[in-house]
Structures are given as C-alpha cells and as structure tokens.
Amino acid sequence: MTAGNLQRSHTPVIDALATAVVVLDSSLTVAQVNPAAEDLLGISTRRAVGRDWSTLLGPQSELLALTEKVSDTQSPLSRSELRLQTADGKLLVVDCRISRIEDDRFLIELHDASARLHFNREVALLTQQQVGRDIGRQLAHEIRNPLAGLRGAAQLLQRAVDDGLATHTQIIIDEADRLSALVGNMLGPQQPSRRDALNVHEPLQHVTGLLRGEAPSGIAIVEDYDPSLPRLSLDRDQVIQVLLNLGRNALQAMGESGQLTLRTRAENGLVLRGIRHRLVARIDFEDTGSGVPEALRESLFYPLVTSRSDGTGLGLALAQELVGRHDGLIRLQQAAAPTIFSVYLPGNGND
C-alpha cells in the first residue's frame, strides 16, 4: 500500500475522532488535520496541510521540541498540561501524545486540558473557602458567649453608676451589640432551607425594585431576562439575600453614575461542584464600576476579605454559602470593568 493510499484509508477514522489529531510526514510537514484539531488550533486544513509544523507553532514551542525529539529517537512521548499558543494567538493547556506511525510519519494527539484545570482549581478554591468559613464559625462561637457576658455585666454596671458614667457603659453595650451582629453574620443562617418551586425572575425582580430605590440618579439599571427559564427549587429569602448583596456591591462599585445590567440565561450541561447538570439558570450582575482589585480576585469569597474601609467582608462569603446550599455557585466572570459576577442555580436534573 502506498503512503497516499494509507493516508486516505485512515482519513475517515481520524476525521471522526473527537480528539484533535495532526499527522506529519517524515520532514515534519503537516499532512493531515482532523476537524477537532482545526477547532482546537484555530486553523483550517487548507491553511495547515503542506506547511512546516514549526510555522504553526513557533520556533520556541515545547510541542515542536517534543515532536523533533520523537523524530530523532523514534520513541513515543506523552506530556500533560503542555502550554500551547495557537495560530490565532489563543493560549491553551493541552495533554499530548506524539508517536511514529507507518511510512515514517508522526501522529500527534491533543486533548484540551483547560476545562479540567479550571475544574480542579475551582474545587480547590471552594474547599479553601469552606475551610475559611468553618474557621470563622469556630471563632464566632468562641466570641459569642463571653460577648454576651460582657454586655450583661455592662448593663448591670450601668444601673449602679451615675449618669455621667452611664455614657461609657452605653458605649460598651453598643459595641457589644455591633460585635454580636458581626458574629451572627459570621455564623450565617441557622435555619435549614425552605424551598419552593419558583421562577428565579420573581425574587430577582423584587431585588431590582429595592436596588432602584437605593441607586443614585446617575445609575441606570437594565434588565435582560430569558423568559424561557423554568421554575427551580429555591429558598426565596436566601436567594433574595444573595442577589441583594451582589446588587448592592455593584452599586457601591459605581459610585454616583454607571450602568448595572441584570441578565438571566440558561446553560446546558454545566458542571458545578463536580456535578454535571442538564440545566442551570445563570444570573449576571454586570456593572461599569472600577473592577475588582487584582490582589483580591483569588480570595474574594473568603470571610473578612473586602476592599472597602467600611465593609465587613462577610457578604460574598455568606452569599457563596447560601448559593452552595442550592448546589450552585457564584463566579467572578470578569474582574476588569465591566465587572461581571454570575450566580449559577441548577435545575433538579443532573447527569
């Protein structure tokens, strides 16, 4: 069988693969690119075939160096999480295997590892956030009892002192109340979720009404809703608390002027917290404020993390926990302006 016949005999099989496959001839010239590789590498078969492999990857590419090594040693090589820049400038992380096949040609298999890396990173981040919340709760429990004793002692003392000193005992009581409220926020809701079948637009429109009342006159609030979203099993009060927190954060980020866009969309086959869901409702809060400082982006959902001098840093941590009770997730989709926070709430079905 000639090389041409051999290539033609394999073409239908290679083209049908979901794995990205590139075939090179003995001089490392591209002989074949399957549709999956066209999509991954951002280049058409017409543009790729006949070109030197190095012109598609660049002379400093690690994938090119591995290909040349296989050409020299004739031994297959595999690498995980290899960084690759495509022809259209996109940066990818891929798993690859390079092997020699018939007629001194080379088969390169590429698997996009970006989704796996994103998933692993998200799981690690959620685990760290949960550890942070658990530590916060433990501290809150340790503080709550002596704080109550401190307040009670101040009240007793207030009754025994004259009016001139009562002002000072009142300061102790007021500060104890403030700390008690902070401790309560750190502990989070103590009641189990009470869920009903709701369309997410109902609590969202309730929150929108509240935000319109709070927003400065220079801020426009735009609604962009997907009417096809089905009912979800939701705790209305908890969802309102989450949405109101995100909305108020957006208003504070913009100051006196800007635009807040509230957007809903349906997502299919999305993986949240390790589970693939058939349908997920996505709620976006997009604001034209100053963006999220780079130093806070990794720790944004940890307790006590805030960029505001008057903030407690508990709002986003609590919001993430409440959404987690619905098996959902909050993500910072875009940190630079326009900033986008997305709330993902899954439907009942999963795969």
Q: Which has the closest alpha carbon to 204: 141, 282, 116? A: 282
Tell me how far apart the alpha carbons of residues 4 and 278 are, in angstroms, rounded to a whole number.
44
- State if pTM tops 0.75: no
Identify the band that residue 97 occupies on the pLDDT scale cut at 50, 70 and 90: very high
High-pLDDT (> 70) share of the chain, %? 81
Give the homologous superfamily in CATH for domain 3-112: PAS domain (3.30.450.20)
- Best CA proximity match to 108, nearest among 122, 92, 97: 97
- Name the maximum alpha-carbon separation found in the chain: 108
Convert the pLDDT of each residue in 318-334 to its tens digit.
888 888 889 899 988 88
| Residue whose tokens read 């590892």 | 113
Give the pLDDT mean for 13-28. 86
Q: What is the structure's pLDDT at 9?
A: 46
CATH 3.30.565.10 fits 196-346, yes or no: yes
Cα–Cα distance, 108 to 183 (Å, whole number): 57
Listed residue (296, 303, 333, 331) closest to 317, CA to CA: 303
